[in-house]
Amino acid sequence: AQSVTQLGSHVSVSEGALVLLRCNYSSSVPPYLFWYVQYPNQGLQLLLKYTSAATLVKGINGFEAEFKKSETSFHLTKPSAHMSDAAEYFCAVSGPDNDYKLSFGAGTTVTVRA
Amino acid sequence: DAGVIQSPRHEVTEMGQEVTLRCKPISGHDYLFWYRQTMMRGLELLIYFNNNVPIDDSGMPEDRFSAKMPNASFSTLKIQPSEPRDSAVYFCASSLRQEGTTFFGQGTRLTVV
C-alpha cells in the first residue's frame, strides 16, 4: 500500500520568503510522487512530478521538489513566495503496480502575507 | 486538448432526487477516475476505469452511487437517491498509463438540501 503524510495543515509565509511544504511517503515499490495545487473553486493542477529520473524536480511557477529516498521525503519549495501562491497544495503517490491510482495527503493551505 | 471536462460545475438538488454528473476525459487517455473531496475526508477515490471497464469500485460509499463509461469519451457518476451527506466536490480525472500523470477536471460542486 502507498500513502503520503503532509506535515502541517496550514503554512503562513511573508511575500518574498521561502515556501517549504513537507511530504513524506510510504511505498513498498519505487514510487511516483506528485505535487498538485488547488486554487479556490478550481480543480487540481499538476505542479511537478517525480518518476525515478532526476531527484531534483522543477515544476511550474518556480516550485521544485527533491526526492530523498533515505528520508522517504518529497518536500516542495519555492525560494520567494508571491501573493498568487496562496492556495492548497497536495502531495500524492502512485505507481505502476496499482494502475497509477493517486493516494493524496490531507493537503496544506498556504497563505501569503503582504 | 481542452483537458478533462465536467458538467455541471454546480448542482443543487433536493434530498431524494437523482443526480448525474458527467465527464469527458482527455482524448486518448485509457484511465478514468472519479474522486470526491470533502472537508472531513479530503480527496478519496470512488471508482476507476481502464479502457472503459470498471476496475475498482471499492471506494463507492453506498449502492446509491453508480458509475458508467459507455465509451472512451464519456463517463457518468449517478447518485440515486441523493442525501445531504453526499454534498461534496466531485472530480473526474484521466491518465495515460505509459505517461503516468493524472489530469483533473474543474469539478462539480454538489449540494443536496
> pLDDT per residue over A23-65, tens digit each?
999 987 788 999 999 998 889 999 999 987 788 999 999 999 9
Interface contact A46-B45, CB threshold 8 A: no
How does residue B2 score in pLDDT terms, banded at 50, 70 and 90?
confident
User: Rounded CA gap, B107 and B23, in Å?
Assistant: 9
Nine cell digits for residue B92:
473526474
How does residue A96 score in pLDDT terms, banded at 50, 70 and 90?
confident
φ/ψ of A113, rounded to 5, equals -90, 135
User: Rounded CA gap, A80 and A36, in Å?
Assistant: 19
Burial class of A19 by CB neighbour count within 10 A (0 to 12, 13 to 18, 19+): buried
In angstroms, the separation between the Cα of residue B33 and the nearest Cα of chain A is: 8
User: Rounded CA gap, A91 and A85, in Å?
Assistant: 16
User: Rounded CA gap, A67 and B98, in Å?
Assistant: 21
The whole-number pLDDT of residue A28 equals: 78
How does residue B59 score in pLDDT terms, banded at 50, 70 and 90?
very high
Interface contacts (A, B; CB < 8 Å): 53
Q: Which residues of B touch A106 (CB under 8 A)?
A: 42
Inter-residue contact B92 to B105 (CB < 8 Å): yes
Inter-residue contact A6 to A109 (CB < 8 Å): no
Q: Which residues of B touch A90 (CB under 8 A)?
A: 43
Nine cell digits for residue B64:
446509491
User: Rounded CA gap, B57 and B23, in Å?
Assistant: 17
Beta-strand runs (E) in A1-114: 3-7, 10-14, 19-26, 32-38, 44-50, 56-58, 64-68, 73-78, 87-94, 103-104, 108-113
**Residue whose cell numbers read 501569503:** A112
How does residue B1 score in pLDDT terms, banded at 50, 70 and 90?
low
Interface test with A, best of B43, B47, B95, B97 (most A CBs within 10 A): B43
Q: Chain A residues with CB-CB distance to B under 8 A?
A: 32, 34, 36, 41-46, 49, 51, 90, 94, 96, 99-102, 104-107
